[in-house]
């Protein structure tokens, strides 16, 4: 049989249906990831976009083709599928035919260690490497399971605009854009529009890129990041915490179930992830401050938590911790004042374990027209730009709550990454926006 008459399959199919294909002849197309020899045997690890598979060449007639192949050359491999318990895929191919489709020379990313700047400059190629492959497939699945969860819960996807005339999270981190001579901004959060959506459709969410002109150069900050923002009519702070906990737990358990291959490629210890089930720990801001004090950290009551504080707090917990009731002064105008203590708001931040910091920010929203107007005035918010938002409290106002989850921080935690920059295909950071 010539190499042209064959059924081409991919490694995803091999992973899922390999048992039925064992001993059969298979053909895959892909790129050479690793090439090596050992005595009389030659090995190629091929990546085909769905996974990585070892191909074993014992037939000396194929050695000259093997010698011509280099890393990232495109090729077609035909051979017998054999179980290989040591590989995460579970199978290897005993090669019978080998064909080069495109030759590659001098691929810049070699198996040796490269510095981060070099890798970032070659991000368009770096995404092919095994770790990046696993992370970005998990990112895809995370987005998918979040949507699946929300749809099961009766949410509809309701898109917020990216160009906005008004700020949501404070004016210091806005990206200004010239909109035919008018000043506009790139969205920091779709929340305000989701509030309009919740009063029209009861349970809505948006899922898209958001932008912050933040001069922060940390492991947790991107300039462009993706956020999912559910918003629910008639939901209290308590209700929205439950939704967030369930959404996070559902997604993680689905990832363990269906992305085990990728987690194995990352050598992620899944025992810590299996524990992520509701309920999470819940403490108030004031209790979080006590924890910091008990650890001997210097901290002034009333300040906001930064990365060091978040890490210190999360060390005490093996699951995410939900921190509620922050001081009003450090939180945005739209959060509902705690009726029991006017100095605090009905908000929540969820801090991930293993040092990943804040992954969720949310709150019950101020539903009273007068109080909201008062708070906006106190904070010098240009009321004329927010008339439409105030309308939501004038016509059919209702208790409502929502939150935003940052996808890159969530993925970084699930994959146990050093930095959020690897959790998005083409990161935008303070000093890095190419390619
Ligand atoms: O806490 P934030 O600023 O909340 C809001 O934007 C609300 N309006 C959301 C809402 O209630 N609908 O951001 C929410 C989450 C954070 O917890 C974090 O996970 C992520 O977005 N985030 C960032 N991720 C990466 N880089 C940044 N610069 C981020 N800023 C926020
Ligand atoms: Mg926040």
CATH number, domain of 33, equals 2.40.50.140
pLDDT tens, 266-283? 999 999 999 999 999 999
| 49 and 140 both lie in a single domain | no
**Dist CA 379 CA 77 (whole Å):** 65
Residue 193 forms part of a structural domain: yes
| 76 and 130 both lie in a single domain | no
Mean pLDDT within 232-238: 98
Supply the pLDDT for residue 71: 97
Give the ligand whose atoms come closest to the C-alpha of residue 352.
Answer: 1
Supply the pLDDT for residue 123: 98
| 82 and 127 both lie in a single domain | no
Mean pLDDT of the chain: 96
DSSP H/E element including 191: helix 191-201
Mean pLDDT within 99-122: 96
**Dist CA 321 CA 307 (whole Å):** 15
**Dist CA 52 CA 170 (whole Å):** 46
What CATH number does residue 172 fall under?
A: 3.30.930.10
Of 255, 247, 160, 244, residue with least CA distance to 209: 160
Q: Ligand 1 atom closest to Cα of 212?
A: 28
Residue 280 forms part of a structural domain: yes
Mean pLDDT within 408-415: 98
| 187 and 55 both lie in a single domain | no
Supply the pLDDT for residue 217: 86
Q: How many domains does the chain have?
A: 2
Residue 379 forms part of a structural domain: yes
| 262 and 360 both lie in a single domain | yes
Residue 70 forms part of a structural domain: yes
Interval between CA 135 and ligand 1 midpoint (Å): 21
Q: Ligand 1 atom closest to Cα of 361?
A: 1
| 159 and 96 both lie in a single domain | no
For atom 23 of ligand 1, the residue with the nearest CA is 406
Residue 118 forms part of a structural domain: no
**Dist CA 130 CA 231 (whole Å):** 37
Query: What is the domain extent for residue 233?
Result: 123-423
| 71 and 150 both lie in a single domain | no
Given ligand 1 and candidates 190, 222, 223, 225, which is best to mutate, with the most ligand atoms within 8 Å of its CB?
A: 225
Residue 343 forms part of a structural domain: yes
| 72 and 156 both lie in a single domain | no
pLDDT tens, 334-349? 999 999 999 999 999 9
Is 50 exceeded by the pLDDT of residue 5?
yes
The model's pTM: 0.97
| 98 and 128 both lie in a single domain | no
pLDDT confidence tier of residue 172, bands split at 50, 70 and 90: confident
Q: Alpha-carbon torsion 358, 344, 402, 246, what sign?
A: positive
């Amino acid at each position: 049989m010539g190499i042209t008459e064959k059924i081409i399959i991919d490694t995803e199919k091999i992973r899922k249906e390999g048992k039925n294909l064992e001993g059969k002849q298979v053909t895959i197309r892909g790129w050479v990831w690793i090439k090596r020899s050992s005595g009389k045997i030659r090995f190629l690890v091929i990546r085909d976009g769905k996974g990585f598979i070892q191909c074993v060449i014992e037939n000396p007639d194929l050695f000259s083709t093997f010698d011509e192949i280099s890393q990232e050359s495109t090729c077609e491999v035909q051979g017998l599928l054999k179980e290989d318990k040591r590989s995460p895929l579970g199978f290897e191919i005993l090669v019978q035919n080998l064909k080069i489709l495109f030759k590659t020379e001098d691929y810049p990313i070699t198996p040796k260690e490269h510095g981060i700047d070099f890798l970032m400059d070659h991000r368009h190629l770096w995404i092919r490497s095994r770790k990046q492959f696993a992370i970005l497939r998990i990112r895809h699945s995370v987005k998918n399971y979040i949507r699946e969860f929300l749809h099961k819960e009766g949410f509809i996807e309701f898109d917020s605009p990216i160009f906005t005339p008004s700020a949501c999270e404070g004016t210091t981190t806005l990206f200004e854009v010239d909109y035919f001579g008018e000043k506009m901004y790139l969205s920091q959060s779709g929340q305000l529009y989701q509030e309009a959506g919740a009063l029209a459709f009861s349970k809505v969410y948006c899922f898209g890129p958001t932008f912050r002109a933040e001069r922060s150069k940390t492991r947790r900050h991107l300039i462009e990041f993706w956020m999912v923002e559910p918003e629910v009519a008639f939901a209290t702070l308590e209700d929205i915490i439950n939704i967030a906990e369930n959404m996070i737990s559902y997604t993680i358990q689905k990832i363990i179930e269906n992305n085990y291959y990728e987690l194995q490629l990352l050598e992620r210890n899944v025992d810590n992830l299996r524990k992520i089930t509701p309920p999470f720990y819940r403490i108030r801001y004031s209790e979080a401050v006590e924890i910091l004090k008990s650890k001997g950290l210097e901290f002034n009551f009333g300040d906001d938590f930064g990365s060091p504080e978040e890490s210190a707090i999360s060390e005490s917990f093996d699951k995410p911790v939900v921190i509620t009731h922050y001081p009003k002064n450090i939180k945005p105008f739209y959060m509902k004042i705690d009726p029991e203590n006017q100095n605090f708001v009905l908000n929540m931040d969820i801090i991930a374990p293993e040092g990943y910091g804040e992954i969720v920010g949310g709150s019950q929203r101020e539903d009273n027209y007068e109080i909201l107007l008062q708070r906006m005035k106190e904070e010098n918010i240009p009321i004329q730009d927010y008339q439409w938002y105030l309308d939501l409290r004038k016509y059919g106002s209702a208790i409502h709550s929502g939150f935003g989850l940052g996808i890159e921080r969530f993925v970084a935690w699930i994959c146990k990454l050093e930095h959020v920059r690897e959790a998005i295909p083409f990161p935008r950071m303070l000093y890095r926006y190419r390619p």
